[in-house]
Amino acid sequence: NWDDESFLVANPLYRVLGWPQFRWMFTTCYMSSCMPLTWMTYSLDFVFWGMNPVGYHLTSLLIHAFNAVLFFFVSLRLLRLSVSSSNGSQQLPIRLAAGFAALFFALHPLQVEVVAWALGREMAVAGFFFFLNLICYLKAAENESMAAPRWRWMGAAWLFYAMSLLGKEVALTLPFALLVLDVYPSRRLGGGRGRWFGPQVRRVWWEKVPFLLLSLGAGVRAVLGKEGTGAVYPLAGYGLLPRVAQVLYSLAFYPGKTLLPLDLSPLYPLRGFTGIWEMQWLLSGAFVLTLSVGFFFVRQRWPGGLVAWIFYTLLLMPVSGILTFGPQLVADRFSYLPSLGWAVLLGAGLFYCWQLWLNRRINVKTLILTQSSAALLLVGLGILTWQQIRIWHDSERLWRHALALEERSSFAHNNLGLALAERGALEEAINHFRRAVQIDPMFVEAHINLGNFLAAKGSVQEAIAHLLKALEVDPAFAGAHNTLGNILANRGELDKAVEHFRKGLQAKPESA
């Protein structure tokens, strides 16, 4: 009961592949999410599987598997570009390094949320076309260096980028990330006089214009879609300094979880900001500053580190907290594309060990040790991923795990309460709703749920108090008016009940 119920189980709008459904997918940001190509995959699932969740999970797993294969080819091309020599003896090590990078990406526990959560598929669909875009773009750059036709490849890159944005707008900053790849490893920009803005590199800048226009269009549509449902927290209400702190925390969070993927949660709650001097913000800022300065100073000897860091930073920006939406501070799924550079760097490290061996700078035992360590790392990631998948078995297990990691999560208490109420554990459910409104007195849905189940239990007066509190926070919440109207009608207070039903219909005229 994360978002699957509202998006898939209770939503009939995607379940037929017809013109009205296509029009709805491409013109509606349903519940603030604009993802027409992802909706098309759900439609195909419904055609083949109905509402059997097995098929939906299988589709997500297959898309992720295809992404791993595509990422292998992206890694292979990037590693080949970074190696100046074309020695034939290096081809096997490069392929092994690219294979390790692809498996590191595919098996990492951070990807569980994208695959095991039905609605997390949006990231995988966007990623599929994102990888195709990178393959075509790098091929176009390679053809340019060989004086071969390149515009067909570049046109395909533009098309796949548009399709990635139609899956989910998670790569809005890709045009700037591509410029980083143009500097290294493609070496199309920089490196000499006139190599930044001179006539010989002007086409490198012009080819980014279609990418930028697509990004701007998708970005405006996404922001308007989220603002239309109130999902974006206004700057005046949330503040600039908390957003800066959240961005720094996001930049530090994902590299840490990539290296040590423990205590992963479906929800890292966004809590009230009490000052920039909190330890988590200070440590995050220090980490980001240290990494940035460190990569900058070793850029001549190791340009790949700085490139991976900038690429990661740029791709993370849209989901880093600059625009704050939803109850999460960070989310595992947000790392799906930005953290790809770390996998490539690890693969490059394995390839470097092979180079040292070929140059007789290390012996064969050391080479075997490094390759065996890499294999053991993949096995360890697989075990951690298997354990993380089990957490997503059902709603109750998911939210109990989230609360074990962070008890002060009002959202997790509310969702656990709903799961408990569904299986009839009403008393325990009410306790979790009470805890949710205790943590966040402005949490409208938790007040409504508490009111609903208190009324079902017979505590009518207390139920009315919580529903009135919900309407005090959000006077236009139709569900609160409806529930309150039903309670009042049952008590015989028909005039008051009718008044609340009218207000509910004013707020939501389509409510049956």
- Condensed to tens digits (0 to 9), the pLDDT of residues 173-182 reads 999 999 999 9
pLDDT in tens, 181-230: 999 999 999 877 778 888 888 899 999 999 999 999 999 998 888 776 66
Q: Could you tell me the pLDDT band of residue 85, with boundaries at 50, 70 and 90? A: low
- For the chain, helix, strand, coil in percent to 5 are 75, 0, 25
Q: Could you tell me the pLDDT band of residue 495, with boundaries at 50, 70 and 90? A: very high
As a whole number, mean pLDDT of residues 365-374 equals 94
Q: Could you tell me the pLDDT band of residue 231, with boundaries at 50, 70 and 90? A: low
As a whole number, mean pLDDT of residues 261-276 equals 89
What's the confidence (pLDDT) of residue 87? 64
pLDDT in tens, 395-446: 999 999 999 999 999 999 999 999 999 999 999 999 999 999 999 999 999 9
What's the confidence (pLDDT) of residue 271? 80
What's the confidence (pLDDT) of residue 198? 83
As a whole number, mean pLDDT of residues 119-142 equals 96
What's the confidence (pLDDT) of residue 147? 67
Whether 88 has a pLDDT exceeding 70, the answer reads: no
Tell me the H-state helices in 260-339.
279-297, 303-316
- Comparing 315-329, 448-462, 466-480, the range with the smallest average pLDDT is 315-329
Of 355, 447, 264, nearest to 79 (Cα)?
A: 355
Rounded to the nearest 5°, which phi and psi values hold at 87?
A: -55, 130
As a whole number, mean pLDDT of residues 54-78 equals 97
- Comparing 28-42, 58-72, 143-157, 199-213, the range with the smallest average pLDDT is 143-157
CA distance 26 to 167: 11
Length of the chain: 512
Measure Cα distances from 486 to 469, 481, 490, 509 in Å. Answer: 17, 9, 6, 17
Percent over 70 (pLDDT), the chain: 96
Cβ contact 466:450 at 8 Å: yes
Question: Helix 53-82 crosses helix 121-145 at what angle (to 10 degrees)?
Answer: 30
Whether 241 has a pLDDT exceeding 90, the answer reads: no
- 140 CB-near residues (< 8 Å, 6+ apart): 150, 151, 153, 154, 157, 207
As a whole number, mean pLDDT of residues 259-267 equals 96
pLDDT in tens, 37-53: 999 999 999 999 999 99
What's the confidence (pLDDT) of residue 12? 93
Tell me the H-state helices in 423-458.
426-439, 444-457
Tokens representing 444 are 């409208």
What's the confidence (pLDDT) of residue 97? 96
What's the confidence (pLDDT) of residue 235? 52
